[in-house]
A = this chain, B = another copy of it.
């Protein structure tokens, strides 16, 4: 199914906002966007409504719609929520993951290990994402899976920077092993606890996230 023009525009704008191309509070000028996308204001306005609904922008009537970049507090809240969603996925995955999906999960982690061995941050970043997505999928709950995917996507730019800190990749990989073991043995409670800890931003990770925030802002 070919996506609608409105959806294309909305997705592109989403990417741009994620990448930090727009400042927090910046107005999304309908006319400029119309010129940028070579369309009239009508499809732009429809796309903007989508952005508003997904929380990426705020609409002030008769004023315009303004991008809403999360600040430090909201970011921590989002990571906390992500941790809980991942924990939930892990809990269900431990109970219901299929043999095939488990195989893929292990394979994804093997790819992670190779990336660590090569000290390839970009690749680890990619494979790690797949590892987590396999857990979402393993939950066998499409609704939960989609929620997790959507938040993962939104937090993506903030995770990248963290990997550049020394020892972070190796530590992450070690946690993966334990998570797989818990899921394999069907210990949902343990899988949930491990995943929560794996994703939660605490201690040193907190400073790394904040450092990443500044980097993005510049």
Contacts and interface: CB of A to CB of B under 8 A. Distances in A.
B147 A81 contact: yes
Contacts of A77: 141-144
A194 to B, nearest CB: 14
Contact of A4 (B46, B59, B78): B59
Contacts of A45: 46
Report the interface size class on chain A. Answer: 35 or more
A84 B88 contact: yes
A204 interface: no
Contact of A84 (B1, B7, B54, B84): B84
A85 interface: yes
**Those 9 A-B pairs whose CB atoms lie nearest each other, nearest first:** A84-B88, A77-B143, A53-B53, A4-B61, A49-B49, A50-B53, A81-B144, A77-B141, A46-B49
